[in-house]
């Protein structure tokens, strides 16, 4: 990929006279910075449009914070996984629109008491991306922009495991660590001194980047309390809305590339919530028939052509025992739940995560399509499931530029 970074931030007065969105554009080619202010989407300079259309150029879109909604959800039974899987149900009562209309982004947080969640309306994203997609411009990195004007007291950096909050010239901005070098190089001025707050193992490498790109003399702060005083949503601002918790798209026919990419996280979250709720209801009798009907309705609305998994049951153990299909339903619960848990163990290596799940009752089989970094990662996933007593066969494996897409058949021994 070319060493270009294009940052598009919606202009503060972002509506033009003809109601077209306006953007402040920063283009960094590794050495030079180019800035344009208040550019209307249908009036990009020709050379900027050419770079935006270049698939090899890294493009990052920063969208206004007010387009998103932020939640900090308490854990269910002290389990991050169950909270993530149940998120759609937990936030449904807190959003003004239907669940199907929301894109959900989850933070892989190590916080022992909560999970951080951002939602954004799907039609808002569609409207935001439409003028770009009409011109064959697609983004695979979309971040929540959170700039808050504060007092002018120099430049400060708060370093966390995957993000850095920068306070310069009275403005706070949160960026991910991989974007940081380009972002700093694009700043219009250099600084004599900088204060760094950190409790992260990555602080030394990040500090070197700050020194190289800003030319500042670094002072390491001894107190971390200033970081803790920052609002939670500021710390959370650099989560990639395009990738979400589970990266990539789900190969939906008829949707544009970016929208498929944006919806992937929601689809996987909903699948996980159905599997988790089904399994938990069977085991501890928690979920009502009303919630079951709601879950199935959501699933069928998202996958109207999938006829193989609509038999998911969320009922009490006693009622379930009276059903003729108890064997098939129980196997689905166990296979699906184990498949998700074992995949979650590969999250640091996952490129696309789970893309599609199909369950066949005759023979009893779960077919999983997923995208990972490499063939060894696929084989690791196969071994993890095999250790649980499943017969796992890799049906196909196709290598792409930066990932491997594989289909696995999982049967109960």
Contact 323, 302 (CB under 8 A): no
| Residue closest to 298 by CA, chosen among 82, 120, 99, 159 | 99
CATH number of this structure's domain 335-413: 3.30.1360.100
Domain coordinates in residue numbering, the chain: 335-413
For the CA atoms of 319, 323, 327, 333, what is the dihedral angle to 10 degrees? -50
CA atoms of 208 and 164, how far apart (whole Å): 13
CA distance 383 to 380: 5
Is-contact 100 123, C-beta < 8 A?
no
pTM over 0.75: no
Structure tokens at 298: 């959501």
Q: What string of pLDDT tens digits covers the 413 residues of the chain?
A: 455 777 777 765 445 455 667 777 777 766 666 777 777 777 778 888 888 888 778 888 878 777 787 777 666 655 656 665 666 666 666 666 666 677 777 665 555 566 677 788 888 888 888 888 888 888 877 877 765 444 344 678 887 766 787 777 656 677 777 778 877 776 666 677 888 877 655 578 888 888 888 777 888 875 554 544 555 555 566 667 765 543 222 222 222 322 333 344 345 445 554 444 333 332 222 234 444 454 445 444 444 444 433 333 333 333 333 333 344 445 555 666 566 666 655 544 444 455 555 655 555 667 777 777 778 888 888 888 888 778 888 888 888 766 777 888 887 76
Q: Using CB atoms within 10 A of its CB, is residue 28 exposed (0-12), middle (13-18) or buried (19+)?
A: buried
In whole angstroms, how large is the CA radius of gyration of the chain? 23
* Alpha carbons 49 and 41: distance in angstroms, whole number: 10
- Closest to 242 in 3D by CA, of 223, 266, 220: 266
What gap in Å lies between CA 238 and CA 159, rounded to an integer?
12
């Amino acid at each position: 990929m070319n060493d270009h970074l294009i940052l598009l931030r919606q202009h503060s007065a972002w509506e033009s006279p003809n109601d077209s969105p306006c953007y402040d554009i920063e283009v960094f080619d590794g050495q030079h910075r180019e800035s344009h202010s208040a550019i209307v989407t249908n009036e990009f300079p020709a050379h900027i449009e050419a770079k935006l259309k270049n698939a090899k150029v890294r493009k990052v879109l920063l969208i206004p914070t007010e387009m998103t909604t932020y939640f900090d959800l308490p854990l269910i039974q002290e389990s991050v996984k169950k909270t993530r899987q149940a998120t759609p149900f937990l936030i449904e009562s807190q959003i003004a629109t239907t669940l199907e209309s929301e894109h959900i982004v989850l933070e892989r947080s190590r916080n022992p008491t909560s999970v951080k969640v951002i939602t954004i309306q799907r039609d808002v994203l569609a409207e935001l991306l439409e003028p770009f997609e009409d011109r064959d411009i697609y983004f695979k990195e979309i971040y929540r922009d959170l700039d808050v004007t504060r007092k002018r007291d120099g430049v400060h950096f708060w370093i966390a495991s995957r993000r850095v909050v920068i306070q310069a010239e009275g403005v706070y901005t949160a960026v991910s660590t991989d974007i940081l070098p380009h972002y700093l190089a694009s700043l219009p001025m250099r600084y004599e001194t900088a204060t760094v707050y950190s409790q992260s193992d990555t602080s030394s490498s990040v500090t070197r980047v700050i020194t190289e790109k800003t030319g500042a003399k670094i002072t390491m702060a001894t107190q971390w309390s200033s970081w803790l005083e920052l609002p939670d949503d500021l710390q959370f601002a650099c989560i990639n809305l395009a990738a979400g918790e589970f990266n990539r798209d789900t190969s939906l026919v008829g949707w544009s590339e970016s929208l498929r990419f944006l919806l992937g996280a929601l689809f996987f979250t909903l699948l996980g919530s159905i599997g988790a709720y089904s399994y938990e209801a069977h085991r501890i009798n928690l979920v009502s028939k009303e919630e079951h009907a709601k879950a199935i309705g959501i699933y069928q609305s998202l996958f109207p052509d999938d006829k193989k998994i609509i038999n998911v049951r969320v009922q009490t153990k006693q009622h379930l025992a009276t059903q003729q299909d108890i064997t098939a339903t129980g196997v689905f619960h166990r296979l699906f739940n184990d498949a998700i848990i074992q995949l979650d163990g590969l999250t640091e290596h996952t490129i696309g995560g789970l893309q599609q799940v199909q369950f066949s009752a005759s023979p009893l089989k779960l077919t999983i399509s997923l995208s990972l970094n490499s063939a060894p990662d696929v084989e690791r996933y196969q071994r993890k499931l095999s250790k649980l007593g499943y017969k796992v066969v890799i049906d196909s494996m196709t290598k792409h530029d930066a990932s491997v897409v594989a289909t696995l058949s999982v049967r109960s021994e």
